[in-house]
Structure 1
């Protein structure tokens, strides 16, 4: 029973998922704090915050009220996503893939390169040849036609 659980846990996809969720959640808070304390003030150098404290370009709407496009929040989300994705990949996924490759090499498992798939033209030639075999005809020799019977 414990061996089955160990095999389940040691599957790469379970560990990758668990690590990504935990570290991604923790690292997101750090990245969000950095972006809010560095990127948002830089955006604030170019645009004043609106009435609700959002930083970004402000335009006057059709009803005469100011509308602020909160670029600070957008930049925070984009930078946070990419920073978390990069860290999770390089710190956890890449080493785990290398570890799996080493384990497979130790076990003597060699991955075979994928066979090259035929091109569309090659597939069409194969289809034509199969149809010719079924009909008993060939492209090189035109099919024989019987002259119409005289009545």
Structure 2
């Protein structure tokens, strides 16, 4: 009985791992890690030198002293240093990552999905028109049969006094 429970747990775990969304998530994490390295390289290789044209090349060097003299004396840091350059670098990395994801993935995908939805709506609209026209024909046939059964129209398919081209039952009843 213990082996059945172990098999059930192992099968459940295997099923969980083989689900599409778990595999997609794992792929996304791996691609995200690689993409982070690319973005960090762009920030350090392009953005930091551009900022360095106005100051220092390394954003991490930008800081402000909140309290006391911010200096290192005998290996000890004195004062309270705010490292706003590191925060600025992280914000730039985030903004670049978000822009690349939006313009290269989200925007094209949303445009594709909008076009697909428009095509599907157009197909659905034509299907409804076809269904409506078929429905109208069936209603006309029904009305003609009802009229024939009430009037006993001698096999003509029309109610007494109704000839071809008169009334709603004229379409589809010429045989």
Larger helix proportion of the pair: 2
Shorter-chain TM-score range: 0.3 to 0.5
TM (norm. structure 2) is 0.39
Bigger CA radius of gyration = 2
**Structure with greater strand share of residues:** 2
Q: Using CA pairs under 8 Å that are at least 6 residues apart, name the structure with larger relative contact order, 1 or 2.
A: 1
